[in-house]
Amino acid sequence: MHLGNVGENSAKRTRAFASRFKTLDFLGIDLANVKRTRKNWRQVQTEFIEGLSKLEDNSASMITSNMALGYYDKTGKQVLEPEKSHVSRVRETIETCRRKLRPNGKLRILADAELVYDLLLPAMNGIFESQKLKVRLLKESEYEKTNWLKQAKKELVPVYEILAQK
């Protein structure tokens, strides 16, 4: 499952993964609409919590978000100065992700340092056990994987990966 998968490239990564891994099911959740082209890919046009609520608890093996969770409010507007309501919405999204993950399932989030340390990690506090939560700076070679990461590299913005296991 990928939160914010449409992005600026019409779900190119989701499309590629669904094509490559035909025996796995993929779900994209985004406010933007995109025509899905694979039988093993479902696309839900909505905000994250509403899209996640359509899944059974303990049903997802992995949930990912690349430069999406925390960056936008529920209407798709970019959040430059997070207010208390935005912080609680991000926490609610993370709690919902944890409920939807299978035992040992993983939540993988890519974000810049400010968002990781000022918003995402504090929001995750108490949701995931600290020993099952890892943060690392992406290697330079990993910045070539998506347009958002290429843009971050161009602007010299370090991007971190948060990996949380249920």
With a cut of 70, say whether residue 9 has pLDDT above it. no
Mean pLDDT of 3-10: 74
Q: What is the CATH number assigned to the segment(s) 2-165?
A: 3.40.50.150
Residue 126 pLDDT level (bands cut at 50, 70, 90) = very high
pTM: 0.86
Q: Is the C-alpha dihedral spanning 115, 33, 108, 101 positive or negative?
A: positive
Asked if residue 40 has pLDDT above 70, the reply is yes
Q: Based on the number of CB atoms within 10 Å of its own CB, is 1 exposed (0-12), middle (13-18) or buried (19 or more)?
A: buried
Q: Token pair for residue 51?
A: 């899209």
Position 143 pLDDT exceeds 90: no
Residue 56 has pLDDT above 90, yes or no: yes
Residue 138, pLDDT above cutoff 70: yes
Tokens of 135: 């943060």
The pLDDT value recorded for residue 149 is 82
- What per-residue confidence (pLDDT) applies to 162? 96
Distance CA 87, CA 90 (A): 5
- In 3-state terms, what secondary structure has residue 26? strand
Most confident of 32-36, 63-67, 147-151: 63-67
Kindly report the average pLDDT of the chain as a whole number.
87
Asked if pLDDT for residue 49 goes beyond 80, the answer is: yes
Determine the pLDDT at residue 82: 64
Percent of the chain with pLDDT over 70: 96
Q: Which residue has the higher pLDDT, 105 or 30?
A: 105
Compute the average pLDDT of residues 123-138: 92
Q: Hey, is 31 helix, strand or coil?
A: coil
Mean pLDDT within 92-115:
94
Q: What are phi and psi of 111, to 5 degrees?
A: -160, 165
